[in-house]
Structures are given as C-alpha cells and as structure tokens.
Amino acid sequence: MANLVGNMLIALAGTPTAVINSSICGVIEEAFEHGDAVEEIYGALNGVAGLLNEDLVDLGAENHKTIQGLRRTPSAALGTSPVALSSQDESRVLRILQHQNVRYLIMAGAGEAMRVAHRIQQGAQAVGYELRVIGIPMSPENNLPHTDHVPGYGSAARWLAVALRDIGRDNEATCMHTAVQIIEVAGVTGWGAAATALARDHENAAPHLIYTPEGTFNLDAFLTDVQEVYERLNRAVIVVSEGLKTEQNEPVNAASLSQLLAERLRLTSELIKPGVLPRSSQVCVSRVDAEEAHVIGRKAVSLLVDGYTGYMMTVQRDRESSQYKPIYGTARLEDVAGMNQPFPRNYLNERGNDVTDAFLEYVRPLIGGPLPEYVSLEKFPVEKRLSDVR
C-alpha cells in the first residue's frame, strides 16, 4: 500500500498510568523512522480538551534526551482529561485535524477513549477524509476486553502489592494500638484490590480479606469474616474496592465499614486510601509493563503507516511458552468502544473474600519480577527472667 503522507497526532484521554509516557516515547521514536510518511508529530495537551482547543505541541521538536526520559517518567506528560465528545465537538475535531493535515491519529486510554477514537474514525470516513486511527490501551484498572491485560496495570499492581506488604508489617508491629486497618483501593472494578494478594509472604501475612465489586458482599458475612481473623491473629488488614456494593446495590465505602466494625464488633480501625499513588508512582514501576507500553507505541505507528486503521493495540500471552511471553495484536475499535472489563468471578473464592490461585498465576508475570524480600525474626525467648529469682 502506498504511504499516506501527513502529520501524526497523539492524544490521551482518561486516567494516566506509570507507563503511558513509555508509549509516547515509542510513538515518537517509530514516527521518526517513517519520515517518508510522517511529516510532523503533534501532541494534544490535556487530551480531548486540548484537541478541541487546538492546544497542540510539536513533539518532533523535543530534545532527544527528553524523549528518552519519558520512559522513566510517570503519569501523562501530555496531560489528559475526562472523555466526552458531542456531535458538535466531533465536527470541530475533524475540521482541526484536516486543517493540521493530521493523517495519523493515536488515542490512548480505556473504553471511553476507544469510543472517541472510533467516532472520529467514522466521522472522517463520512466526510471522505483519509485518516488512520489506532488506540493504545491505557488503564491502571486493567478494564478493557479483548486483551490479556492493559499497560499500566502491572505497575499499579506492583505498587499495591509492595504497599500492602509494608502495611502488613506495620500492622504486625503495632497491633496493640490500631489492630484493624481498612485499605480502600480506587477503581470501579476489583483488579486493583485483587493485586494486593501478591503481598503475602508468610502464612498469616496481610491482606487477610479482599472484597471486590464483582463478588457478593453481605455485611453480616463481612463481620463474621473480620471477627474470625481478629480472633485468630488479634489483628486484621482488610482491602476493599472503591466501587464495592451490597447485595441490594447500595454503595459501601471504607468509612461505613469502619463505623460498622466499631458498632457491631467494638473494633477500632484505621482507614488508608492510596488514592492516585498506584497509578502515578515510578517507584514500583514494572519493567515488564514499561517495556510492553514502549513496544505498543512503536507498533501502533508501524501499523498506521502500513495502512491499518480502526484498531486498538492488544497484548496477549503465549500460552504455548513455559515462560511469560507477550504477543502483540489488535482488536477492532468497535469491539472495545465504551466497554469495561470486570474482574472475573472465577478469580474470586467461593465466599467472595479473597482471590484464587488462578488469579495469582495470571498477575505475577505482569509485575516485573519478585517483590522485595523481607525477613522475620525467629524471636528466640530469653530463658532467664526476674520472676525466676527467689
């Protein structure tokens, strides 16, 4: 296929991640290698909002060292914004793309971002403007279908696992003070909360209970679970998803659970909300996650230049390999547009208060290697005591 000659534009929409800048780096690097097709490389500041306001920057003019530095820089260097595009907005975007001679569009984000990308592609086709569009998946929640996992999740999962291992050690050391800690993990799905199970490095290690929106959450069963753990260990670390709901579809948050424990079990609890840290921290970035994000950026450009349009990049795993090996592919934008992938129910135990070994087997390769190894004292008792002196 003859090369389409024009400019390339990348825009981010939705929640940033620790590795999306690696994808941007890959896009720029690969675009430079296709100078016969890609004339200029633009970035939209603050996502769709920046595109509508024509807040565009010339990424090709950036220093080479800066571009390389994106691979070790978290969050979204271009900025991002909530995803929304009215029919009027769509027409304006198309006029801007035509005015800037943008022939290659890369949209990074989750389901709603893919919906925007799909609509822009359809709009361009309707007016007879040749525009090639590809989506790059971006989400710390891992909530896109038709891909084994989403770049950004492996790093968020690693951060949460390390944090829970640290919180667990703190809980063991200070259980005489606040013996119950409730950690509320952001996200409308259970992918993030589930990843905290990776923190366990000994039999009674935290987290002791994990609750996700995909399980059946019953308040009485929750109290029973907590009481059992507390009676056994004299402490408890509980992880809940932000989007947790009761059987009656009523929202449940960490504060309400803390109040319930105080009223029904007379237990004082500490609330911990990691907030945006899992998605925006470079401290625990997964090398696997960062590498896959970079490769996806490069492959997206290569496919666009080769004539592909209307796809989202995907990462599958080679099921025939004894070691984890990614396989890069695509899914149709129309199949992922606006879609949300919940945490699979078969990754939860029957009671709905923990994950299964199948999930741990799935997630371990994505976090980029083992977690820091901690030790525990044997705590050999000193035999001689004052009470023994007569």
What would be the CATH architecture of the domain defined by 6-152+282-336? 3-Layer(aba) Sandwich (3.40)
Question: Mean pLDDT, to the nearest integer, of 17-24?
Answer: 96
Whole-angstrom distance, CA of residue 78 vs CA of residue 55? 10
- Residues of the chain within CATH 3.40.50.460 domain(s) are 154-281+344-367
- Residues of the chain within CATH 3.40.50.450 domain(s) are 6-152+282-336
pLDDT confidence of residue 83:
72
Question: pLDDT tens, 40-61?
Answer: 999 999 998 999 999 999 999 9
Whole-angstrom distance, CA of residue 380 vs CA of residue 144? 50
Question: Mean pLDDT, to the nearest integer, of 101-122?
Answer: 96
Q: Is the pLDDT of residue 177 over 70?
A: no
Kindly give the residue spans of alpha helices, DSSP state H, lying in the chain: 20-32, 47-52, 64-69, 87-99, 111-126, 153-173, 191-195, 219-233, 254-265, 277-280, 287-305, 333-336, 357-363
CATH T-level topology, domain 154-281+344-367: Rossmann fold (3.40.50)
pLDDT confidence of residue 88:
87
- Picking from 235, 19, 252, the residue whose alpha carbon sits closest to that of residue 140 is 19
Q: Are 109 and 14 in contact (CB under 8 A)?
A: yes
Question: pLDDT tens, 67-76?
Answer: 999 999 999 9
- 190 — pLDDT class (breaks 50, 70, 90): very high
pLDDT confidence of residue 106:
98
Q: Residue length, the chain?
A: 390
Question: pLDDT tens, 254-277?
Answer: 999 999 999 999 999 999 999 999
Query: Which residues sit opposite 209 in a β-bridge?
Result: 238
Q: Are 154 and 289 in contact (CB under 8 A)?
A: yes
Whole-angstrom distance, CA of residue 190 vs CA of residue 213? 6
Whole-angstrom distance, CA of residue 170 vs CA of residue 159? 17
